[in-house]
């Protein structure tokens, strides 16, 4: 604890210990169509060779290179081989017209591109004008990968190019890292679901959709999104449902020192811990465990809730799901700033060329301002002033 408050580092360590058991979520076999952005849990070896057979790299004529060693050379054209045709046989001293991807016939060892030939359709012949050597424009079986070879190592984050090769070798599903299941509960009697009428004293609920989207974007499977009014019985029922369908629960609101702190009032008697963290925004934080499921309780102000997720939850969810860490770094400020002493500040900012510019307005309700940001400035508690050009820690959003 620092000055009666828990430091950001202390709270992050506490949350990491709470979520540590989630690292043992078992891998899953998922259909290839749903494997994008998942992380391979095991290495994948090629079940077949690629290409699986010798085929043509060009539209042209399959020949025995020895028959066109001296050019020009005129050959009778036997037939046409299309992509998807079965293998055929080339008669010595003739040619077979062949399409890209079609199997090279037995007896042929080269392909002459159509643009290097002259066709006499009436005579049924083709004249080759350029010297051709054995192997020219022939894709050999296994020239890309041999059956049994390592195709993709464990830990690969599957992108479209990986889906391509997995499909090319005929795989229908792949083993991936398990995703933590997340339930989200936003609290507050003032909240109204978007699309409903906005009555007096009401605001639309942005925390539920935002936290669910944040969890999904960082490797989690969102199993439940709920909104609870400031009613302890309703909240207790929602918690019971959430821990039954999720590996971790995120709540927003109800954790401060007001009269209607439904999250704190419900979970503290059940062993929950509620603290003030030396950070801004996001000072009020809490954790609990219900039926073995960890619960992270974030403040209700929208910016505070999302910053809390970015600082405490995002790194852990990504690690559990096997996603690469979001690397922080340092950049020079393009505009100087003042910071409040004693609290670690996470200020909204925009990347600006090689630098970074703080955005105006620090209120934890300024969701439109947060939407224009693409980074957070991480300002140490003992720093009060930074000038233009000073290096500052930057956390990309």
CATH number for the domain that contains residue 62: 2.170.190.11
Verify that 193 and 252 share a domain, yes or no: yes
Verify that 194 and 307 share a domain, yes or no: yes
Report the percent of the chain where pLDDT is more than 70: 98
Provide the pLDDT for residue 4. 57
- Per-residue DSSP letter, 52: S
Verify that 234 and 296 share a domain, yes or no: yes
Decide: helix, strand or coil at residue 216: helix
Whether residue 367 is predicted with pLDDT greater than 70 in this model: the reply is yes
Final residue of a domain: which of 270, 304, 321? 321
Q: What is the pLDDT of residues 114-136, one digit of tens each?
A: 999 999 999 999 999 998 999 99
Q: What is the pLDDT of residues 255-297, one digit of tens each?
A: 988 777 999 999 999 999 999 999 999 999 999 999 999 999 9
Verify that 346 and 372 share a domain, yes or no: yes
Domain count, the chain: 4
Decide: helix, strand or coil at residue 139: strand
Q: What is the pLDDT of residues 205-249, one digit of tens each?
A: 999 999 999 999 999 999 999 999 999 999 999 999 999 999 999
Q: What is the pLDDT of residues 309-331, one digit of tens each?
A: 999 999 999 999 999 999 999 99
Task: Tell me how far apart the alpha carbons of residues 140 and 104 are, in angstroms, rounded to a whole number.
Answer: 9
Long-range contacts of 394-397 (CB under 8 A, 24+ apart): 394/328, 394/329, 394/330, 394/331, 394/349, 394/351, 394/356, 395/310, 395/311, 395/326, 395/328, 395/346, 396/326, 396/327, 396/328, 396/351, 397/310, 397/373
> Mean pLDDT throughout 46-61?
98
Verify that 73 and 188 share a domain, yes or no: no
Q: Between vectors from CA 285 to CA 279 and to CA 287, what angle results, nearest 5°?
A: 140
Verify that 161 and 99 share a domain, yes or no: no
Would 2 be classed as within a structural domain?
no
* pTM for the structure as a whole: 0.87
Range of the domain at 104: 55-139
């Amino acid at each position: 604890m620092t000055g009666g408050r828990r430091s950001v580092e202390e709270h992050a360590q506490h949350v990491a210990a709470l979520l540590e058991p989630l690292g043992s979520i078992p891998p899953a076999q998922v259909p290839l169509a749903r494997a994008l952005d998942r992380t391979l849990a095991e290495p994948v070896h090629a079940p077949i060779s690629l290409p699986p057979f010798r085929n043509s790299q060009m539209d042209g004529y399959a020949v025995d290179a020895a028959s066109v060693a001296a050019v020009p050379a005129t050959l009778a054209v036997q037939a046409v081989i299309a992509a998807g045709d079965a293998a055929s046989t080339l008669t010595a001293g003739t040619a077979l017209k062949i399409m890209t991807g079609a199997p090279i016939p037995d007896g042929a060892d080269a392909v002459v591109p159509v643009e290097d030939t002259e066709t006499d359709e009436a005579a049924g012949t083709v004249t080759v004008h350029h010297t051709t050597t054995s192997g020219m424009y022939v894709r050999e079986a296994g020239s890309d990968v041999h059956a049994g070879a390592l195709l993709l190592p464990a830990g690969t984050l599957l992108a479209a190019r990986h889906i391509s090769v997995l499909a090319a070798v005929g795989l229908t599903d792949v083993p991936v890292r398990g995703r933590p299941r997340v339930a989200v509960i936003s609290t507050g009697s003032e909240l109204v679901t978007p699309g409903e009428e906005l009555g007096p004293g009401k605001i639309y609920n942005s925390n539920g959709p935002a936290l669910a989207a944040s969890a999904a974007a960082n490797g989690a499977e969102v199993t439940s999104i709920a909104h609870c009014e400031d009613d302890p019985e309703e909240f207790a029922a929602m918690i019971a449902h959430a821990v039954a369908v999720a590996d971790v629960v995120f709540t927003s609101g109800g954790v401060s020192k007001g009269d209607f702190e439904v999250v704190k009032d419900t979970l503290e008697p059940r062993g929950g811990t509620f603290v003030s963290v030396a950070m801004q925004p996001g000072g009020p934080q809490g954790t609990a465990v219900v039926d073995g499921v960890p619960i992270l309780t974030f403040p209700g102000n929208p910016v505070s809730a999302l910053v809390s997720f970015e600082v405490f939850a995002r790194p852990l969810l990504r690690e559990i799901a096997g996603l690469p860490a979001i690397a922080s770094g340092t950049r020079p400020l393009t505009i100087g700033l003042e910071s409040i002493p004693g609290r670690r500040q996470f200020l909204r900012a925009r990347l600006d060329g090689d630098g970074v510019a703080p955005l105006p307005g620090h209120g934890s309700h300024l969701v439109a301002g947060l939407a224009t940001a693409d980074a957070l400035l991480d300002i140490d508690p003992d720093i009060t002033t930074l000038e233009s050009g000073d290096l500052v820690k930057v956390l990309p959003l």
